[in-house]
Protein backbone atom coordinates (compact mmCIF):
# COMPACT_ATOMS: atom_id res chain seq x y z
CA UNK A 1 0.00 0.00 0.00
CA UNK A 2 1.37 3.37 -1.01
CA UNK A 3 1.60 6.04 1.69
CA UNK A 4 -0.07 9.38 0.86
CA UNK A 5 2.09 12.50 0.90
CA UNK A 6 1.47 14.35 4.13
CA UNK A 7 1.52 18.11 4.08
CA UNK A 8 4.19 19.82 6.16
CA UNK A 9 1.98 22.88 6.40
CA UNK A 10 0.15 25.55 4.50
CA UNK A 11 0.88 29.20 3.84
CA UNK A 12 -1.99 31.68 3.62
CA UNK A 13 -4.58 28.95 3.02
CA UNK A 14 -3.43 28.48 -0.56
CA UNK A 15 0.19 27.29 -0.69
CA UNK A 16 0.86 23.73 0.48
CA UNK A 17 4.27 22.92 1.88
CA UNK A 18 5.66 19.42 1.44
CA UNK A 19 8.53 19.67 3.91
CA UNK A 20 10.77 22.07 5.79
CA UNK A 21 13.20 21.73 2.87
CA UNK A 22 10.43 22.85 0.52
CA UNK A 23 9.98 26.02 2.59
CA UNK A 24 13.73 26.62 2.57
CA UNK A 25 13.81 26.14 -1.22
CA UNK A 26 10.96 28.64 -1.64
CA UNK A 27 12.84 31.18 0.45
CA UNK A 28 16.23 30.66 -1.17
CA UNK A 29 14.96 30.80 -4.77
CA UNK A 30 12.42 33.61 -4.41
CA UNK A 31 12.38 36.12 -7.24
CA UNK A 32 10.27 39.23 -7.84
CA UNK A 33 7.38 37.30 -9.40
CA UNK A 34 7.31 34.86 -6.48
CA UNK A 35 7.49 37.72 -3.96
CA UNK A 36 4.51 39.47 -5.54
CA UNK A 37 2.55 36.21 -5.57
CA UNK A 38 3.31 35.51 -1.88
CA UNK A 39 2.40 39.05 -0.86
CA UNK A 40 -0.89 38.89 -2.75
CA UNK A 41 -1.76 35.52 -1.21
CA UNK A 42 -0.94 36.83 2.28
CA UNK A 43 -3.16 39.87 1.79
CA UNK A 44 -6.02 37.71 0.46
CA UNK A 45 -5.67 35.48 3.53
CA UNK A 46 -5.72 38.45 5.90
CA UNK A 47 -8.77 39.88 4.13
CA UNK A 48 -10.66 36.59 4.52
CA UNK A 49 -9.91 36.76 8.24
CA UNK A 50 -11.41 40.26 8.45
CA UNK A 51 -8.14 42.01 9.27
CA UNK A 52 -8.80 45.08 7.10
CA UNK A 53 -11.49 47.74 7.04
CA UNK A 54 -13.57 48.17 3.87
CA UNK A 55 -11.48 51.20 2.87
CA UNK A 56 -8.23 49.35 3.46
CA UNK A 57 -9.52 46.40 1.45
CA UNK A 58 -10.40 48.71 -1.42
CA UNK A 59 -6.92 50.26 -1.48
CA UNK A 60 -5.23 46.86 -1.24
CA UNK A 61 -7.44 45.43 -4.00
CA UNK A 62 -6.52 48.30 -6.32
CA UNK A 63 -2.82 47.90 -5.46
CA UNK A 64 -2.95 44.18 -6.27
CA UNK A 65 -4.68 44.79 -9.59
CA UNK A 66 -2.10 47.45 -10.45
CA UNK A 67 0.81 45.14 -9.62
CA UNK A 68 -0.69 42.24 -11.56
CA UNK A 69 -1.40 44.42 -14.58
CA UNK A 70 2.13 45.86 -14.52
CA UNK A 71 3.64 42.41 -14.00
CA UNK A 72 1.63 40.95 -16.93
CA UNK A 73 2.73 43.78 -19.22
CA UNK A 74 6.41 43.02 -18.60
The distance in angstroms from the start CA to the end CA of the chain is 47
Residue range 22-30: mean pLDDT, rounded: 94
Taking the C-alpha atoms of residue 30 and residue 4, their distance in angstroms, rounded to an integer, is 28
For the chain, the domain total comes to: 1
Domain of residue 45: give its range.
9-73
In a domain, 3, yes or no: no
Report the sign of the C-alpha dihedral through residues 18, 24, 27, 30, in that order. Answer: negative
Q: What is the pTM of this model?
A: 0.73
In a domain, 2, yes or no: no
pLDDT of residue 67: 86
14 Cα distance to chain centroid: 7
pLDDT of residue 28: 95
pLDDT of residue 1: 46
**Residue 59: is it exposed, middle or buried by C-beta count within 10 angstroms (0-12/13-18/19+)?**
exposed
In a domain, 47, yes or no: yes
Q: Which pLDDT tens digit goes with each residue over 27-74?
A: 999 998 899 899 989 998 998 999 999 999 999 999 988 988 877 787
Residue range 3-20: mean pLDDT, rounded: 84
Amino acid sequence: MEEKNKSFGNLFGSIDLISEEHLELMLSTMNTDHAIYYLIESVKSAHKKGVFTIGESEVISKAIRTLLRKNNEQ
